[in-house]
Amino acid sequence: MDFKQLRYFVAVYEEGHVGRAAERLSISQPALSQQIRQLEQNLDVSLFERSSKRLLPTLAAHTLYNHALPLLDGMQRAREALGNFKGQALRTLAIGVLQTVHTSLVPQMLERVRKAQPHLVVQIYELTGLEIERRLLNGSLDIGISYLPPRQPGLHGVMLYEDELTLVIPAEHPLREFKKVSMSQAAELPMLLLGEEFQIRQIWQAQLANLGRRPQVQAELNNMAGILDSLPHTRLATVLPGRSQKTHGNHELLWKPLSEPRVPLKVGLVCRDVQRQQASMTLLRTLLEEVINRPDEHLNNPPALDGLS
């Protein structure tokens, strides 16, 4: 028994006549009769009592009809739902995002991706830079949003925007009146930092090493929001990307540019297979540039890009 035979059976049941049912189904009368006989053989029951004028349904036919209607209705609704995909295969895009860029990019990016590619399921993973690169190399991530250049060979990056490392201090910190703070001054400060597995921490340590210094670590947290919540209750400082102020700024914290030297940060999309991910990279770059260039505007309908691979 298949859905075609069920549809034929329902037509005969409702019309009570093979000829009228065949006309309704746009098939020949002999072909319809053969399908009904085959259905009866498959089910090993008699569905109709045949008379000269019409077919009378048996008790088995009444039972089958009551079960067939919801099945056929469900199949029709499934076809309509799948028809909305218009030939597009549902697929996923796994993206690894640094914690220090997550809050400023991801929320608006997700809405734009949904509008541009409604059949794309986006999976976001908040990871450290090293973990993003490791997962890109083993194939469990498609794209990373991380600092450039990638440190692992075999990975390729496309820049999205530039940022810079910034000193963050509580409002009552001794350096509160400074417009900017030199690297040598910052090197003296006791700090609350992200753990050593975080790329921002590694960048900070590398900058201090160039001065022959080491960070004055008083405490560590593995969560940027936790650090920013804790700082106002301490006399400690931290270093974070300046762009984070747009989503984490509050009156209890002061963000001071670092100088002598400035510490530029390049944030971009990273992938392993450029050819395979080219369409996805193009889509994300287009949508993220909208967020970066117009972060405070209401979402517009983004362009739909075909050919995601």
3-state SS class at 244? helix
Note the pLDDT of residue 155: 94
Kindly state the helix (H) or strand (E) to which residue 240 belongs, with its residue range: strand 238-241
Task: Looking at the chain, list the stretches that DSSP marks H as alpha helix, in order from N- to C-terminal side.
Answer: 3-15, 18-25, 29-43, 59-83, 99-116, 129-138, 183-187, 199-210, 224-230, 245-248, 274-293
188 vs 308 pLDDT, higher one: 188
How far is Cα 134 from Cα 138, in angstroms, rounded to an integer? 6
Q: How confident is the model at residue 72 (pLDDT cuts 50, 70, 90)?
A: confident
Model confidence over 6-50: pLDDT tens digits? 999 898 898 888 888 888 888 998 998 899 899 999 999 999 887
**Contact (Cβ atoms closer than 8 angstroms) between residue 101 and residue 265:** no
Q: How confident is the model at residue 133 (pLDDT cuts 50, 70, 90)?
A: very high
* Cα torsion 22, 23, 25, 28: sign: positive
Note the pLDDT of residue 49: 87
Model confidence over 76-132: pLDDT tens digits? 777 766 665 555 555 789 999 998 886 667 878 888 888 888 888 899 999 989 999
Lowest mean pLDDT among 152-156, 214-218, 240-244, 303-307: 303-307
Amino acid at 227: I
Note the pLDDT of residue 142: 93
Of the candidates 283, 276, 266, 307, the residue with the CA atom closest to the CA atom of residue 136:
276
Mean pLDDT of 227-251: 88
Instruction: Domain 93-266: give its CATH code.
Output: 3.40.190.290
Q: How many CA atoms lie within 13 A of 91 on its CB side?
A: 11
Pairing state between β 238-241 and 143-147: unpaired
Q: How confident is the model at residue 309 (pLDDT cuts 50, 70, 90)?
A: very low
Q: Where are the domains of the chain?
A: 3-83, 93-266
Model confidence over 191-235: pLDDT tens digits? 999 999 899 999 999 999 999 999 999 999 988 889 999 999 999
CA angle 280, 128, 123 (to 5 degrees): 40
Model confidence over 136-145: pLDDT tens digits? 999 899 999 9
Amino acid at 7: R
Note the pLDDT of residue 245: 86
Domain 3-83 has CATH 1.10.10.10: yes
Q: Is 65 left (phi over 0), alpha (psi -120 to 50) or beta?
A: alpha
How far is Cα 187 from Cα 213, in angstroms, rounded to an integer? 7
What is this structure's pTM?
0.64
**Contact (Cβ atoms closer than 8 angstroms) between residue 24 and residue 15:** yes
pLDDT at 306 over 70: no
Greatest pairwise CA separation for the chain in angstroms: 105
